[in-house]
Structures are given as structure tokens and as C-alpha cells.
Structure 1
Amino acid sequence: MFTGLIHEFAEVKSYSSNILTLCATYKPKIGDSIAVNGACLTVIQLFEGGFSVELSLESRSLLAVENLKGKVHIEPALALGDRLDGHMVQGHVDCVGVIEHLNQRENGLDIEVSIPEKQITFVIPKGSITIDGVSLTVNDVSKKSFRLTIIPHTLEKTLIGSYKIGRKVNVETDMFARYLYHMFQKKDALDWNGVDRIMAIY
């Protein structure tokens, strides 16, 4: 699990044969989970000043791999007892979104991101979403896109301030929205009366 708060910018040293090698000050251990642009990956090799992770076929099919160059966001997985800021992030990217509009505001930047219709179901106004590993709050949702407002602090601490229209980004929708959707879609779906009964037990 992650929080969507970026630990640092790592520098891509190479990406070849499904192995991504990063230069970073963070020092993980072999087997550690680390989110790279929001995707949970496993550390397979260490070297002085960095580490390598491997991308499976499934990961490569879901990620904006063209962004695995230059600087990338990294966040180590939560340890038991860590303070939870941001929101609960799994590091399981749902889809690739596209930056459609950028609108400079008085004290921030509005960004509109389009994603496939299948995933827009899980995007909730004022709910949480993760863009390239960054925990953000959704302002508005339309049929094919959603709008975010990025404050100056986030622009300074992430790479989002450098994004251009047309850039592809990794999107992880809200975990709880996905769970609830699938629970209610089943044939013997849980209804609100069932939810009330479960809550009454506790």
C-alpha cells in the first residue's frame, strides 16, 4: 500500500528488456515494493546510487511506458505503523489517461484528464484519484474526463507542473469505489439493508 505522496524524483538510467533501472537517493532492499509513477513494482537489483525493478507484461500493457525516461516519481511502500497522509493507494494502475486541458488559476493549475468510459465509473466528484502516483482530489467528472486543481505546493513537489497537453499519465481510481461497484454488480449483490446489517454487528 502507498499514500500517493511522492518520496523523491528518481532519474531513469535505462529501460531495456523490461528492466527499469533508476538512480535515486532512496535505498531499498531486494524484494521491496516501490511505486514508480504510481505503479507498484518489485526491486530486483541494487547498485551504488540506485536500483532496478522489473515490469511484467500486464504492467506494460497498462502503463504509460513512454514516460519511463528522465525523471519519475517514486514512493516506497508503507510500513506498518507509518502515518497515513494522502489516501489509500494500491499501486495498481487502472488505465492510461490523457491530459486534455491545462488552465492556469490564480493559485494553482486546473487539469482535465480523459480516461476510458469503463474507468470513469470509478471517479467520484470530491473523491480521491492517483495520477502518476500523486494523490489528488477530483473536482468535477464528465462522461469521459475529470478535472483536478493542483496547488502550488504539489506543482513544486511533483513533476505535474511540467506536463503538457497530450501527455499520457498513469491513473489509479479510488479503491473503495471499485470495491463497492463490484459488490453491487454481482447477482446476489449486497444492498444497503445488507450494509446496515453488517455495520450493526460491529
Structure 2
Amino acid sequence: MFTGLIREIATVKSYRNNILSIQSEHKAKLGDSIAINGVCLTVIKINSDGFDLELADETRSIIDESKISNKVHLEPAMQMNDRFEGHIVQGHIDCIGEVVKITKRENGTDFIIKVDPKYIVYIVPKGSITIDGISLTVNDVHDDRFRLTIIPHTLENTLMKEYKTGTKLNIETDLFARYIDHILSHRSKKKKTMSWEEVDTIVMSY
């Protein structure tokens, strides 16, 4: 599990077949889970200046491979004694988004991001979302896009300062929204309605 708080901007040394080699100051161990641009990967080799990670075929079929080149966001998996900040992030990419508009404001920058409309149901106004591994808050949601406002600190300390119109993004939607939708859609096959008390019980159980 991750929190969506970026710990380091690392460098991709190489990516061949399903092996990703990262140059990093983070001292990883074999078997560690590490999120690279929001993708949870497993360390399979330790090098003098970093480590190698392996990408499963399923992962490679979902992500845009341009997101694993040059500079990348890095976050080690959360440990039991860590402070819980950000939000619950699994490192499982749901879809690829695209920046369609960037607007500079007085105290922040608005990003309009387009996604496949079928994923909009999991993107909630004022809810959490993970963009390239960064925990962010959604402002507005429309039919096939949503708006984020990025504060100067986040912009300066992540790769988002380099994003342009057309930049592709790894997107992990809200965990609770996915779970609730899955439960409700399967329960609807058995009965037509669910009480608010039942919905509250589902939410509080996570």
C-alpha cells in the first residue's frame, strides 16, 4: 500500500522487455514493492546506484510505456510505523488519462484531464485520485474529464511542472468508489435496492 506522497524523483537507466532499471538514492531490498509513476512494481535486483524492477504482462498492457522513461516519481511501500498521509493508494493503474488544458491561476494551476467515460463513475468531486503516483484532490467532474488545482509546492516538487497539453498520465481512481460500485453492481443482480444503512456499513468496513 502507498500514500501518494512522492519521496524521490528517480531516473530510468533502461527498460528492456519487462525489466526496468532505476537509478535512485533509495536503499531498496529484494522483494520490496515500489511505486514508479504510480505503478506498484517488485524489486528483483539491487545495483550499486539503484535497483531493477519487473513489470508483469498485465501491467504492461495497461500503462503507457512512455511513463517509464527519463525522470519518474518514486514512492516506497508504506510501512506499519509510517504516518498515514495522502490517501490509500494500491499502485494499480485503472486507465491512461490525457492533459487537455492547463490554466495558470494566482495561487495554483488548473489541469483538465480527459479519461475514458467509463471510469468517470470512480472519480468523485472533492474525492481523492492518484495521478502518476501523486495523491491529489478532484475539483470538478464532467462526462469524460475532470479538473485538478495543483498548488505551487506540489507543482515545484513533482514532474507535473513539465506536463503539457497531450501529456499521458497513469491514473488510479478512488479505492472506495471502485469497491462500492463493484459491490452494488453484484448485489443488484440479487435484489433491486440497497438501504442507506447497508451503504454506510460497506463504507465503514474499509
TM-score normalised over the length of structure 1: 0.95
Work out the CA distance in 2 between the residues paired with 1:140 and 1:199: 22
Among candidates 191, 198, 201, match of residue 194 of structure 1: 198
- The count of corresponding residues between Structure 1 and Structure 2 is 200
Question: CA 1:52–1:199 in structure 2 vs 1: closer, same or farther (change >3 Å)?
Answer: closer
Give the root-mean-square deviation of aligned CA atoms: 1.6
Contact kept, 8 Å, 1:39 with 1:92, in 2: the verdict is yes
Work out the CA distance in 2 between the residues paired with 1:198 and 1:123: 18
Work out the CA distance in 1 between the residues paired with 2:7 and 2:131: 15
What are the within-5 Å matches in structure 2 for residues 136-155 of structure 1?
Answer: 136-155=136-155
SS in 2 for 1:26: coil
1:130 equivalent in structure 2: 130
SS in 1 for 2:178: helix
Question: CA 1:144–1:198 in structure 2 vs 1: closer, same or farther (change >3 Å)?
Answer: closer
TM-score normalised over the length of structure 2: 0.93
Question: CA 1:197–1:90 in structure 2 vs 1: closer, same or farther (change >3 Å)?
Answer: closer
What are the within-5 Å matches in structure 2 for residues 97-136 of structure 1?
Answer: 97-136=97-136
Question: CA 1:195–1:143 in structure 2 vs 1: closer, same or farther (change >3 Å)?
Answer: closer
1:161 equivalent in structure 2: 161
Work out the CA distance in 2 between the residues paired with 1:198 and 1:111: 32
Work out the CA distance in 2 between the residues paired with 1:146 and 1:174: 14
Question: CA 1:109–1:199 in structure 2 vs 1: closer, same or farther (change >3 Å)?
Answer: closer
Q: Deviations over 1:34-81 (max 9, x none)?
A: 000000000001111100101111101111211211100000000112
Q: Deviations over 1:67-96 (max 9, x none)?
A: 211100000000112101100100011000
What are the within-5 Å matches in structure 2 for residues 68-83 of structure 1?
Answer: 68-83=68-83
1:42 equivalent in structure 2: 42
- Which runs of 5 or more residues in structure 1 are unaligned? none
Work out the CA distance in 2 between the residues paired with 1:131 and 1:70: 17
Work out the CA distance in 2 between the residues paired with 1:118 and 1:196: 24
Query: 1:188 Cα deviation (Å)?
Result: 3.2
Work out the CA distance in 2 between the residues paired with 1:158 and 1:64: 19
